[in-house]
């Protein structure tokens, strides 16, 4: 969609953007954020942190289908796991 914030942030110069593709339960968003930022804090690349966080939602989330909602918009391949 043209109104999506993720692509507009990439156009503004952000190298990577993580967004929710649709609404999720608040508990799912908190579980995803916790796992995602823990991965980043541990030095993992953004795609690896994203994969781990989505995995947590798939295995331990209240609404396990929420694992498919987080979206990674990427403009800079340097953000990827080598």
pLDDT digits (tens, 9 = 90+) for 4-46: 888 899 899 998 899 988 888 888 889 999 999 999 999 999 9
Q: Is 70 exceeded by the pLDDT of residue 71? A: yes
Residue 32 three-state SS: helix
Give the DSSP per-residue string, 59-82: HH-SSGGGGG-EEEEES-GGGS--
Residue reference for tokens 């929710």: 20
> What is the model's pLDDT at position 43?
93
Pairwise CA distance, residues 71 & 77, whole Å: 16
pLDDT at 82 over 70: no
Query: How much is the pLDDT for 60?
Result: 78
């Amino acid at each position: 969609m043209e109104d999506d914030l993720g692509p507009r942030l990439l156009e503004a110069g952000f190298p990577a953007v993580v967004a929710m593709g649709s609404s999720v339960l608040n508990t799912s968003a908190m579980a995803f954020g916790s796992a995602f930022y823990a991965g980043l804090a541990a030095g993992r690349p953004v795609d690896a942190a994203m994969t781990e966080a989505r995995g947590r939602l798939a295995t331990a989330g209240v609404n396990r289908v929420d694992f498919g909602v987080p979206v990674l918009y990427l403009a800079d391949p340097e953000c990827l796991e080598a």
